[in-house]
């Protein structure tokens, strides 16, 4: 079968990964100063960070709408035997339900809820693309993705709390207390939703080293095929320390680095980094 894999821009597969794997990504919408922008097309995380630094309001993301999906699926469904769309998790965005609504008009379009975001979603996208290249059928790919959805380990360490606070994800008191104590929260995706699971204390570099070791060291339940280091405006020396930790404790056959897109950046801000991989 000739199968096309699609996703949305929340997957954070930059650096040519989408192009090399033949994947089409539909951009989410970003609202900045009341204007509607397209994630990665007319606005970047850097634009968002500079806007906030200059005193602008926090930007927000909006779902891919039904019309956007209809335009994408209408074109591709006519050229492929099957289209498999891997959406940002339904717990984070209505993009999934909008994709399902659009897909009803096409008998060969299937929509998969990744129950994830960022390169946690991206891990599933790459798996689907590899299966499609190897000749797997649409049913087999969807079944495999359904199994893998619950095995993605997605987490991010956040260096500052103003974005989370302004987005309504932590109280002002909690933000002030964490800033005074130099606490860095770890955000995990669990059951399709983001949860704060732990706070690290100290410099961001030291916290990231501890985070990397705790995520990877001594674990036997990790699939060592591939991992992502995904980040937003992390200084190079700090990033290198994370690379060292992943090399020492992860022993992955492939480690890919990507910059977090607008979805993560709008909610977590600069100085955010995650190590993402699959469990057995």
Supply the pLDDT for residue 146.
96
Q: Is residue 42 part of a domain?
A: no
Supply the pLDDT for residue 194.
82
Residue with tokens 């998790």: 89
Same domain, 81 and 94: yes
Here the CATH number for the domain that contains residue 250 is: 3.30.1180.10
Per-residue pLDDT of 218-274, as tens digits, reads 999 999 999 999 999 999 999 999 999 999 999 999 999 999 999 999 989 999 999
Here the CATH number for the domain that contains residue 19 is: 3.40.50.10170
Q: Is residue 55 part of a domain?
A: no
Residue 49's contacts (CB-CB under 8 Å, 6 or more residues apart) are 232, 233, 265, 269, 270
**What is the model's pTM?**
0.93
Same domain, 137 and 17: yes
Same domain, 94 and 221: no
Is the predicted pLDDT of residue 161 greater than 90, yes or no? no
For the CA atoms of the chain, what is the radius of gyration? 19
Same domain, 83 and 130: yes
Residue 135's contacts (CB-CB under 8 Å, 6 or more residues apart) are 1
**Over residues 17-41, mean pLDDT:** 96
Same domain, 88 and 167: no
**How many structural domains does the chain have?**
2
Per-residue pLDDT of 92-122, as tens digits, reads 999 999 999 999 999 999 999 999 999 999 9
Q: Is residue 52 part of a domain?
A: no
Is the predicted pLDDT of residue 180 greater than 70, yes or no? no
Least confident piece of the model among 69-78, 172-181, 203-212: 172-181
Domain span holding position 110: 3-28+63-149
Q: Which helix (H) or strand (E) holds 76?
A: helix 66-77
Residue at which a domain ends, from 149, 184, 208:
149
Burial class of residue 134, CB neighbours in 10 A (0-12, 13-18, 19+): exposed
Same domain, 244 and 266: yes
Residue at which a domain ends, from 132, 149, 166:
149
Across the chain, mean pLDDT equals 92
Same domain, 137 and 174: no
Residue 184: pLDDT band (50, 70, 90) is confident
**Over residues 51-59, mean pLDDT:** 92
Same domain, 12 and 129: yes
Same domain, 143 and 259: no
Q: Is residue 269 part of a domain?
A: yes
Q: Is residue 51 part of a domain?
A: no
Supply the pLDDT for residue 164.
72
CA distance 140 to 132: 10
Same domain, 13 and 144: yes
Residue at which a domain ends, from 98, 131, 149:
149
Same domain, 97 and 124: yes
- Both tokens assigned to 176: 């002030």
Same domain, 24 and 121: yes
Q: Is residue 203 part of a domain?
A: yes
Q: Of the candidates 198, 114, 113, 126, which has an alpha carbon nearest to the alpha carbon of residue 155?
A: 198
Supply the pLDDT for residue 179.
52
132 compared with 182, residue with greater pLDDT: 132
Q: Is residue 45 part of a domain?
A: no
Q: Which helix (H) or strand (E) holds 226?
A: strand 222-232
Question: What counts of helices (H) and strands (E) characterise the chain?
Answer: 11, 14
- Both tokens assigned to 219: 């674990």
């Amino acid at each position: 079968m000739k199968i096309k894999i699609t996703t949305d821009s929340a997957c954070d597969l930059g650096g040519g990964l989408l192009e090399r794997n033949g994947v089409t990504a539909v951009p989410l919408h970003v609202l900045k100063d009341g204007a509607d922008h397209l994630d990665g097309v007319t606005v970047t995380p850097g634009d968002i960070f500079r806007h906030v630094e200059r005193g602008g309001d926090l930007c927000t993301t909006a779902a891919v709408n039904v019309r956007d999906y209809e335009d994408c699926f209408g074109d591709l469904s006519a050229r492929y035997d099957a289209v498999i769309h891997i959406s940002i998790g339904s717990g984070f965005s209505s993009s999934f339900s909008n994709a399902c609504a659009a897909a009803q008009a096409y008998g060969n379009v299937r929509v998969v809820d990744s129950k994830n975001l960022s390169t946690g979603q991206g891990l599933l996208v790459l798996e689907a693309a590899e299966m499609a290249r190897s000749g797997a059928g649409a049913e087999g790919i969807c079944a495999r993705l359904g199994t893998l959805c619950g095995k993605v380990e997605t987490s991010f360490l956040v260096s500052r709390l103003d974005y989370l606070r302004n987005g309504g994800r932590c109280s002002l008191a909690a933000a002030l207390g964490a800033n005074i104590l130099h606490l860095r929260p770890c955000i995990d995706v669990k059951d399709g939703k983001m949860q704060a699971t732990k706070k690290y204390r100290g410099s961001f570099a030291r916290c990231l080293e501890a985070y990397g070791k705790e995520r990877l060291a001594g674990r036997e339940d990790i699939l060592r095929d591939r991992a992502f280091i995904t980040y937003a405006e992390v200084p190079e020396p700090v990033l290198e320390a994370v690379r060292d930790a992943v090399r020492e404790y992860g022993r992955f056959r492939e480690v890919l680095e990507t910059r977090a897109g607008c979805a993560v950046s709008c909610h977590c801000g600069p100085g955010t980094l995650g190590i993402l991989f699959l469990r057995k």
